[in-house]
Amino acid sequence: MPDKQKILAEFAGRQPKEWGLHVTGVVNDSPAKQVALTFDACGGPGGSGCDQALLQTLRKLHVPATLFVNSRWIHANPGLAAELAADPLFELANHGTSHLPLSVNGKSAYGITGTATASAAYDELMGNQAVMLDTFGKSPRFFRPGTAFYDDVTAAMTHRLGMLPVNFTVNGDGGATFPAATVATEVGRAGPGDIVISHFNKPAGATAEGYGRALPRLLDKGVSFARLGDVLKP
């Protein structure tokens, strides 16, 4: 893996042309016939809890998922994080070091100021990558920043550092703010190739109840599910 100084030299002076959820280099869907469920755990002010009811539903129905974990959440839940890393139903992915939008010039999303420089973007990517390698013994293959906002320069940097920047086609729970009926409706419209984003760090939300309604219906319709690592190749 190139060291930080080499990466910064490669990206020096590059000015972003795009900003948002859909930028060049970011994967929003997959070519597969399955649906990929992804769940974020933000940590810090974003919440360091765990929606055990949601995980129990996934396990009961044998529905695999990719879990994007932030370093703050890992530090708050070391035993749980290790348990999830060892569960073959799940795959852990990198949700950043400080849960910041990923930019080279400090752009903001949802009131959160993004990384201000290429150096800060590198640290946001690789700080948690190092935590996850040290904690779980393997490097994650996928990355999603806090707020899921990137610019095209940081998306390219993510690729250069050996991770695939991933977003979504279906917003399942609106940051764990949707009521259960809305979660069930949004998740229930997922089909082949969709990547669904939701959260598993906010047990007080209605995410678990909504998934409890939606998943049996989808399974009855013949929808199948896969982890990102089963349908995307970095």
The pLDDT profile of the chain, 234 residues, written as one tens digit per residue, is 679 999 999 999 999 999 999 999 999 999 999 999 999 999 988 889 999 999 999 999 999 999 999 999 999 999 999 999 999 999 999 999 999 999 999 999 999 999 999 999 999 999 999 999 999 999 999 999 999 999 999 999 999 999 999 999 999 999 999 999 999 999 999 999 999 999 999 999 999 999 999 999 999 999 999 999 999 986
Closest CA to 124 of 48, 68, 70: 70
Quickly count: other Cβ atoms within 10 Å of residue 183's Cβ: 27
Closest CA to 232 of 86, 123, 128, 91: 91
Cα gap 40→199, rounded to integer Å: 5
The token pair at 10 is 């490669």
pLDDT of residue 191: 97
pLDDT of residue 2: 74
Cα gap 187→170, rounded to integer Å: 7
Residue 99 and residue 70 in contact, taking contact as beta carbons nearer than 8 Å: yes
pLDDT of residue 46: 80
Residue 135 and residue 8 in contact, taking contact as beta carbons nearer than 8 Å: no
pLDDT of residue 165: 98
Cα gap 109→215, rounded to integer Å: 30
Residue type, 207: T
Residue 90 and residue 227 in contact, taking contact as beta carbons nearer than 8 Å: yes
